[in-house]
Amino acid sequence: MLDPKLLRNDLPAVAERLSVRNFTLDQDAISVLDQKRKQLQQHSEELQATRNARAKSIGQAKGRGEDIAPLLAENTRMGDELEQAKKELAIVQADFDAILLTLPNLVDASVPPGRDESENVEMRKVGVPQEFSYPPLDHVDIGARRSALDFETATKLTGSRFAVLRGELAMLHRALIQFMLDVHTREHGYTEINVPYVVNADSLKGTGQLPKFEEDLFRLVWGDAETQAEAGAAGSDYYLIPTSEVPVTNTVRDTILEASELPVRYTCHSACFRSEAGSYGRDTRGLIRQHQFEKVEMVQIVHPDESFAALDQMTGHAEAILQKLGLAYRVVILCGGDIGFAAAKTHDIEVWLPSQQTYREISSISNCTDFQARRMQARYRDPETRKPELLHTLNGSGLAVGRTLIAIMENYQQEDGSVKVPEALQAYTGGVTRVLLP
């Protein structure tokens, strides 16, 4: 959430920074609301001060033996007027807060302008894209052998955009998860954490998914109508996580950390669930865009002065996984038109896929500055002033497991349709060096 003071004191500057996202801020609506808020707040304060003064005069009149009934009646009238003013102020403040919850983060000055992903800026390319002496297969055709990658059964079990992995492919998927967690915990200094796959609405509000992106979430409903009615609002206040960023980042919600506890670094493997609303027709073949997928997430909670250095560090941590796996990739800075709602700056890592002859996103690492922390009231105590100050939060994939599996299947495929196991993974496959052999 943006700092309300920015909207009250420097609205044109906020509008200018949001325009980099191609987001048009309704300055008039905010100005009208804020002016009404100021008037009601001033009116309430004046009524309270007058009422307090009259209460004192009533006591004095009573001491002199005067008839205080008219004074009491006037005081009651003013009390009713004060109560009404407070109610109106609460409504205006709620309307203001509702607008705040829909406004994205302000992008950093280093974020390039642009309309969409075609205008993202390449930072670097690493590795040489794999070349083949034969037409390379895509991961769907490779995985069709022995039904190792089975979409038909998944559709029967659940529906479209789900997958069943069998045998050596399931083993390779599991090996990737263990490999990523080991690298991040043993080499990069993260603490492994295991969190619920179900979260409440407050957690999703804290990281910015609610209220704006509810259509992208899987909301949980259980029981019959009578059970739901008895449960009330709380009974439908749970969602499947779209990413473990949500529960992991919310571990510091409503918390004040000591500065000495920073940075907090967590890594987490989890399933992720997304409705992919509005994405129908895009990447419907294979594992690229599924309703359920798995990811190894990185989250850092840092001092505000350290967040942009942490962004570069986390990008390097995700890159290290690809380098160890011998996969070619590139790193881009997302432009204003492509950056996520909560992010101030984002680096995307895109891996080379031979079947598509292009780079595809495999990790997105974002510095959210104090945007999420303000929504969560996640703070640290300044060691000098001892006052609570907002933290900065960062998150990133380290990596998306399914997409990493795709990259290995396609880049390490052999002419006979089998797949070589990258050397870095062989310790996790029991020494198996090739899978899906004829």
Sequence ranges of the binding site: 243-245, 274-276, 297, 361-364, 395, 397
Amino acid found at 49:
A
Q: Which two tokens stand for residue 206?
A: 């804290």
- Residues in the chain, total: 438
Q: Which amino acid is at 44?
A: S
Q: HSE-up of 333 (CA within 13 Å, CB side)?
A: 17
Give one DSSP letter per residue of 183-230, joined into a string: HHHHTS-PEE----SEEEHHHHHHHT-TTTTGGGS-B---S-HHHHHH
Single out the catalytic residue among 274, 374, 375, 379: 274
What is the Cα 297 distance to its own chain's centre? Answer: 11
Active site residue 265: no
C-beta of residue 394 within 8 angstroms of C-beta of residue 311 = yes
Chain CA centroid to CA 40, Å: 35
| Contact assessment for residue 268 and residue 192, using Cβ atoms and an 8 Å cutoff | yes
Which residues line the annotated binding site for L-serine? 243-245, 274, 297, 395, 397
Sign of CA dihedral 39, 23, 5, 209: positive
The yes-or-no answer on residue 364 being catalytic is yes
d(CA 245, CA 400): 13
54, 289, 330, 360: the active-site residue: 289
Rounded-to-integer distance, Cα 57 and Cα 66, Å: 11
Q: Which of 161, 379, 403, 410 is catalytic?
A: 403
> 331 near 315, Cβ under 8 Å?
yes
Taking the C-alpha atoms of residue 167 and residue 164, their distance in angstroms, rounded to an integer, is 10
- Binding site for ATP, by residue number, is 274-276, 361-364
Q: Is 253 a catalytic residue?
A: no
Q: Is 361 a catalytic residue?
A: yes
Q: 10 Å Cβ neighbour count for 296?
A: 28
Task: Identify whether the C-beta of residue 204 lies closer than 8 Å to the C-beta of residue 212.
Answer: no
Which tokens sit at 61?
């009149």
DSSP, residue by residue, 137-192: PPHHHHHTGGGSEEHHHHHHHT-SS--EE-HHHHHHHHHHHHHHHHHHHHTS-PEE
Diameter over CA atoms, the chain: 108
Active site residue: 203, 307, 364, 366, which one?
Answer: 364
With 0-12 / 13-18 / 19 or more C-beta atoms within 10 angstroms meaning exposed / middle / buried, residue 118 is exposed
- Among residues 166, 361, 381, 389, the one annotated as catalytic is 361
Does residue 289 carry a catalytic annotation? yes
Residue 178 CA to its chain's centroid (Å) = 23
- Catalytic residue IDs: 274, 289, 361, 364, 403
